[in-house]
């Protein structure tokens, strides 16, 4: 899951697993309240009750950009996978850099989005009248 300031940018998961809005909300809170805000990484158990209320999943949370607070959250059910998650994160970041995805992401996040950008008439309400 790629997250920017409580907004999901991308979510990739195996088809056989679903993640509910409630569990996503828990994950977002976990990322936002963590001590690595803006830098570093953390590895911790996390209970997502809608996914499995009888056990823990393990969350690797790290920031992947030095200029914007973009977080990459990787999830596993195996406690011993910390090093594997670090390696996976590095492969993802390397691929994003090689494909210039990181530059594009940072450019998009640097310019604010407003509803009039959509060109959808219902959303483009004139507030000056």
pLDDT higher at 3 or 112 = 3
Q: How many CB atoms lie within 10 A of CB 62?
A: 20
pTM value is 0.78
User: Quick check: 122 pLDDT over 80?
Assistant: no
Tell me what pLDDT residue 18 has.
85
Cβ-defined contacts of 45-51 (< 8 Å, 24+): 45/79, 46/75, 48/19, 48/23, 49/22, 49/23, 50/19, 50/20, 50/22, 50/23, 51/17, 51/18, 51/19, 51/20, 51/23
């Amino acid at each position: 899951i790629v997250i920017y300031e409580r907004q999901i940018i991308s979510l990739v998961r195996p088809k056989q697993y679903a993640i509910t809005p409630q569990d996503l909300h828990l994950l977002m809170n976990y990322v936002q309240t963590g001590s690595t805000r803006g830098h570093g990484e953390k590895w911790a158990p996390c209970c997502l009750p809608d996914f499995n209320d009888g056990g823990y999943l393990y969350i690797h949370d790290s920031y992947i950009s030095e200029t914007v607070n973009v977080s990459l959250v990787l999830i596993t059910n195996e406690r011993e996978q910390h090093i594997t998650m670090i390696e996976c994160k590095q492969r993802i970041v390397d691929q994003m850099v090689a494909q210039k995805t990181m530059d594009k992401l940072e450019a998009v996040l640097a310019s604010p989005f407003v509803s009039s950008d959509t060109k959808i008439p219902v959303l483009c309400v004139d507030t000056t009248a």
